[in-house]
Structure 1
């Protein structure tokens, strides 16, 4: 039996987490409706944080990354974790799943009906990548630089790190 996905988002990219940022994470079941639900979560969170300059780009990348996790990453019965981070220099969307496959960008045939997800992410986001997780699976992320989004940096926090607010 496959291991369950745990909330190990902070282990996925510890070098990119900074104490001055905000984050929010939600677990979603592996279902056909999960990409839509995850997009709604991202839009609601970024709107609440007043981070809407590149909302359409972030919504599109969320859709592609979550669709990949549902179709190719998360085994049946497992969960997908979507994490949004607002860091000093960028906004970052991470999608974690417990599957063993590492996604790769490809160039599909013109007539192909699918296979363009990571190509779309690579041309829409300022950067993207795949990180191993502690435990099963991987984290696929897309980042959006603040200098291109027009968003302002967060002021330094004077309190300790916040937990997930989902």
Structure 2
């Protein structure tokens, strides 16, 4: 009798841990959101992403605070080994965010999101009533390594000085 080696179990998708927070929409909301997310990243082993994630969370929560009167801001964070995904939700009716604004006085926070995030976008679960909007972003670990390598290379480059 010949025994076949056991079959390997199918490779499971990367484990994901999800966290959700509700914040009062007041002037402390951006600071509380930054603090909670940085602590969460530290406890889940994602310290190297904390500066970028903290900045982007602060921008998105500040946008909700400045541009809506909703009482609650919802913050959802999903952490995987290779990435961090964050969504900031509000229930403001008649939201005007449909695309990235043109350059000007507003929209600079979303330009930061576009520059630092691996991916980003807008969730609009109920487009008919235009209620419940979420702006999300994801930052991948490998993207950060590319940025670090680029910055390291740039810092080693010799820049000719004018004579």
TM-score (norm 2): 0.70
Given the alignment, which residue of 93, 113, 116 partners 2:108? 116
Give the aligned partner of residue 7 of structure 1. none
Equivalence for 2:122: 130
- Between structures 1 and 2, the one with greater helix share: 2
Greater relative contact order structure (CA < 8 Å, 6+ sep)? 1
Q: What are the Cα deviations for residues 23-47 of structure 1, in whole angstroms up to 9, with x where unaligned?
A: 1111001101100110001001010
Q: CA RMSD in A?
A: 2.1
Q: Retained in 2: the 8 A contact 1:102–1:130?
A: no
Query: 1:140 corresponds to which residue?
Result: 135
Conserved? CA contact 1:24–1:84, under 8 Å = yes
Alignment-derived partner of residue 71 in structure 1: 66
Cα distance in 2, alignment partners of residues 64 and 99 from structure 1: 17
Give the SS at the match of 1:129.
strand
Tell me how far apart the structure 2 counterparts of residues 88 and 56 of structure 1 sit (CA, whole Å).
Answer: 17
Q: In the alignment, which residue of structure 2 is the partner of 1:50?
A: 45
- Of 118-127 and 95-104, the range deviating more from structure 2: 95-104
Report the structure number with the largest CA radius of gyration.
2
Quick one: distance in 1 between partners of 2:144 and 2:115?
15
Count the aligned residue pairs: 128
Query: SS in structure 1 opposite 2:21?
Result: strand
1:92 equivalent among 85, 91, 106: 85
46-55 or 19-28: bigger deviation: 19-28
Task: State the Cα deviation string for residues 79-117 of structure 1 (Å, max 9, x = none).
Answer: 0011110135421111011013142322433xx4x4311
Structure 2 gaps, min length 5: 1-12, 146-163
Please list the CA deviations of residues 133-152 of structure 1 after superposition, one character each: whole Å capped at 9, or x if unmatched: 369311110100132246xx
SS in 2 for 1:53: helix
